[in-house]
Amino acid sequence: MAALIYSFCTLTCLACFGLLLRAWRTSRSRLLFWSALCFAVLSVSNFLLVIDKLAFPDVDLSALRLTTALVALLLLLFGLVWEEE
C-alpha cells in the first residue's frame, strides 16, 4: 500500500509540474515558472522517497530527500520574492 501512495505522490508532482509548465508557456508569468521548477524538484524528492523506502530499504537517503525538498522550496521562495520586486 505504501508503494502505491509514494508512487501517486510522485505522479501528482509530475502532473503539477506539467500543468504549470504548460501554463507558463502560454502566459510567460515568472511565478508559474518558479512554481513549475519547485514541483519538478519535489517530484525528484518523491522519487527518492520511493527509492529509499522500496528499492533500497537498508540505505538511508533521508538527507538527500530533505535536501532536494529544501532546494524545491527555496526555488519557490526565490520566485515569490523576485515576483514581488
Residue 83 confidence (pLDDT) above 90: no
> Can you read off the three cell numbers belonging to residue 82?
523576485
Q: What is the mean pLDDT of residues 61-85?
A: 92
How far separated are the first and last CA of the chain, in Å rounded?
A: 45
Residue 85 confidence (pLDDT) above 70: no
Helices (H), the chain: 2-27, 30-50, 62-84
Q: Return the CA Rg of the chain.
A: 14
Spatial contact of 38 and 68, defined as CB atoms under 8 Å apart: no
**What is the tens place of the pLDDT at every residue in 19-66?**
999 999 999 999 999 999 999 999 999 999 999 988 888 999 999 999
